[in-house]
A and B are shown apart, each in its own frame.
Chain A
Amino acid sequence: MAKQMHPTPMLDELEKGPWPSFVTGLKRLAKDKDYMVDVLGHLEHSYKTRKGYWKGGTVGVIGYGGGVIPRFTEIKDEKGAAVFKDAAEFHTIRIMPPPGMHYDTDTLRMFCDVWEKYGSGLIALHGQSGDIMMQGCTTENVQKAWDEINQQGFDMGGAGPAVRTAMSCVGAARCEQSCYDEAKAHQMVINTFLDDIHRPALPYKFKFKFSGCGNDCMNSIQRADMAVIGTWRDNMSTDDALGKKWFAKHGMNELINDVVSRCPSKALQIKDSKDVRKDSHISAVALNDSQSLEVDNKDCVRCMHCINVMTGALGVGKDKGASILIGGHSHLKIGATMGTVVVPFMSMKNDEDYEKLVEVAQSAIDFFAENALEHERTGEMIERIGLVNYLEGIGVDVDANMVTTPRMNPYVRTDGWDEEVAKINAKKAAA
């Protein structure tokens, strides 16, 4: 039995309503732990005064320069003593989850046991960083908890100016839209940068995210410094039986309104089956015995919409790989930047392909480490130096897939034009 609870009239309001309540969970933990009694008091104080009261500091484990997020209370009495003394320290340990966030129950129970013993008993699955957040631990217990977790085969996530914990979608494990082995790419890239995760020495954070297709379930384009997004080069796959099944259920109106007219590049047409073009870049799926949906794969941008709607009837192709987009990040400081295409397509089939992906990641990290200003993300750096300088820095040739449109102003010196054309033509001839 723990000490008596502080009154928490405001937090009590968050036990009402049907959604699972974190307050009920905190109170359950507070039955056994003085620590959590004071955490509840601390949080209620924030609710009452509408301010946060945790400050950072320096807490770590042997061998690592980051991964623990230290928190010390700032609610002090006039003598400088913590008002909620059992919750004076409330550190978080970030742990990297398995790619795709798959678990067996033994592992989850192991985390529970360790955290009940050494920590608060509160675990966030998962933080926005993609980590398992073991929330709430004293300075004294951080190393002990970490030792047990690490001995169970788990490693620390990133924090501060470092390569951060990566994320990958469920992908090949369950999804037919997966265009590469996301977990394998995730694992190979992260294993290359463990040192940069655990010993923060970069100008600022660098995030990798891996999504198996353009649906980008990991939100990589807006959040990752390097986004790896699955795509394919050949024709969309089709299945006539599933096409007919879909059409029988949904009919022509839905086909036109929800599929054909929503194609962003107008690559879809409804045809009499006998009129479907025979060119190699055309694929078609039967709707009934006489009509088909024709896809011009040269026009298709692999946006995924029609595949999302007519799952199985339409599917991703066989010549699969990924696009790499660089420079996504959120508001501060120049305003949010979207990742932009740096590698339009990389085949992702054999081990050499995955090693090439790691090489691209390595050049992105190396250039970032050398050239970014302090506290500058890759997207901000590219905005400052221009994409062409960035590409030259990482050794990637320009490609028209990298722009929405060519330049719209004349303010550029073009006296190297002929040499550039000659160089590009020579490369084309040699390829």
Chain B
Amino acid sequence: MAQPQMRRPVEHFLDNKKFLHPKFAANYGNWKYHDRPRPGVLHHVSHSGDEVWTVRAGTQRQMDVHTIRLLCDIADKFAEGRVRFTIRSNIEYMLSEESKVAPLIAELEKSGFPVGGTGNSITMVAHTQGWLHCDIPGTDASGVVKSMMDGLYEEFKREEMPNRVHLSTSCCSINCGGQADIAVIIQHTKPPKINHDLVANVCERPTVVARCPVAAIRPALVNGKPSLEVDEKKCICCGACYPPCPPMQINDPEHSKLAIWVGGKNSNARGKPTFMKMVASGLPNNPPRWPEVNAIVKNILMTYKADARPWERLADWIDRIGWPRFFEKTGLTFTKYLIDDWRGSRASLNASNHIRF
């Protein structure tokens, strides 16, 4: 029997020119300014006088083909068959005529897609795969995000926050969801449980030893089998050993908790970019709607909304009011676990008598 013909891949990276909306192609690199006529709509004006209106809508990110086809039908009807997606999984329709803006918004909302996510709104959560697909997740992603966005739905559709708000969620400390104004991240609280029967066959032991940030893992002979052991006094429960060695199970239905981080900002606007800081931990991983986590996230957001000045991102707001007042106003508890002792940590201590009363 003849061997089947194996097709070689065609390696190339795509040019985006043929996918651009005609107004984008015609005015590429020649835009003059923009404004936002209403939440969810951007209006860009080119040096040539051309104008384009962009309507942004939220999606569930993990989309079935029927949803994508529906979004395509809407694009064909209103937007010359072109769309683009933002980094936070919002879809954008570009319109050549202002008269199409209102009918498109009506059509999107009728079809279940909220229009918003622009300017000083709370936009869609950047998130990870979670239980649906990841091999090491401590929690789900799409479900946490769905429940969170249900609660923030009106804020997505309005532009009423002090400045834009980016949220993220991550199912382990690798933090694929990324830095954000507020991030929800799994925080394990117990060392890995090791299945010593499997380690020798599944794990490359020197790799696993090298992966530990605090050198808590060492080779050991357990029940006559080569395995690994963890110095539990040293272990920081980060879970870094779990991906290279699945028999070192770090996820635990009870002890894998959720932590909340605030004040990440990637933009250089005003202050330099900042990393987010942990402000709460020990929250239960409570599907299907994670009410404890969502209550705290919403509380931080509403406190920020009420107290921050225009254009202050969450980090800018805390910079002004100070950390003690952040904890006071949000009702969160500042504990010893929030004082950093990792490398470079002294830079996070208050080396001054700058104290607010």
Residues of A bordering B, CB below 8 Å: 10-11, 13-14, 16-23, 25-26, 28-29, 39, 43, 46-47, 49-56, 61-64, 69, 71, 90, 92, 96-109, 111-113, 115-116, 121-128, 135-136, 146-147, 150-151, 153-156, 167, 169-170, 172-176, 178, 181, 183, 187, 190-191, 194, 198, 214-223, 229, 239, 242, 254, 257-258, 262-264, 301-305, 308-309, 311-313, 315, 330-336, 338, 373-375
Contacts and interface: CB of A to CB of B under 8 A. Distances in A.
Contact of B211 (A215, A263, A336, A375): A375
Contact of B273 (A104, A113, A222): A222
A221 B161 CA distance: 25
Contacts of B58: 19-20
Given A128-B126, A194-B11, A218-B87, A332 B174 contact: yes
Interface stretch (B14-22, B95-103, B221-229, B322-330): B14-22
A126 B85 CA distance: 8
A229 to B, nearest CB: 8
B83 A103 contact: yes
Contact of A312 (B13, B33, B65): B33
Given A56-B135, A222-B179, A20 B87 contact: no
Given A102-B21, A150-B9, A194-B13, A108 B68 contact: yes
Interface in B132-191: 132-140, 142-143, 146-147, 149-151, 153, 171, 173-179
Given A19-B149, A172-B29, A262-B270, 19 more contacts: A11-B143, A26-B64, A50-B285, A52-B135, A96-B13, A98-B14, A102-B20, A104-B18, A105-B75, A123-B68, A124-B63, A173-B24, A194-B11, A216-B267, A222-B266, A263-B270, A305-B270, A313-B33, A335-B342
B12 interface: yes
B122 to A, nearest CB: 12
Contact of A221 (B15, B60, B273): B273
Interface residues of B, number: 118
B64 A121 contact: yes
B33 A242 contact: yes
Contacts of A29: 64-66
Nearest to A213: B268
Nearest to B7: A147
Contact of B65 (A49, A123, A254, A315): A123
A98 B63 contact: no
B334 interface: no
Query: Which applies to chain A's interface (DSSP): helix, strand, loop or mixed?
Result: mixed
A269 to B, nearest CB: 17
Contacts of B176: 128, 330
A62 B28 contact: no
A104 B94 CA distance: 12
B41 interface: no
A19 B288 contact: no
Contacts, number: 359
B87 A217 contact: yes
Contacts of B311: 258, 262, 305, 309
B207 A374 contact: yes
A126 B75 contact: no
B84 A43 contact: no
A121 B65 CA distance: 5
B266 A62 contact: no
Contacts of B140: 43, 46-47
A43 B132 contact: yes
A261 B307 CA distance: 18
23 contacts: A23-B143, A47-B131, A54-B134, A54-B135, A63-B9, A99-B16, A112-B68, A121-B65, A121-B66, A122-B62, A124-B62, A125-B63, A128-B128, A151-B10, A169-B87, A173-B24, A218-B87, A229-B268, A304-B267, A305-B270, A331-B174, A336-B275, A375-B210
B269 interface: yes
Given A311-B33, A374-B207, A14 B267 contact: no
B89 interface: yes
Nearest to A151: B10
Interface string B236-274: 001010000010000101001000000010111111110
Contact of B64 (A25, A64, A103): A25
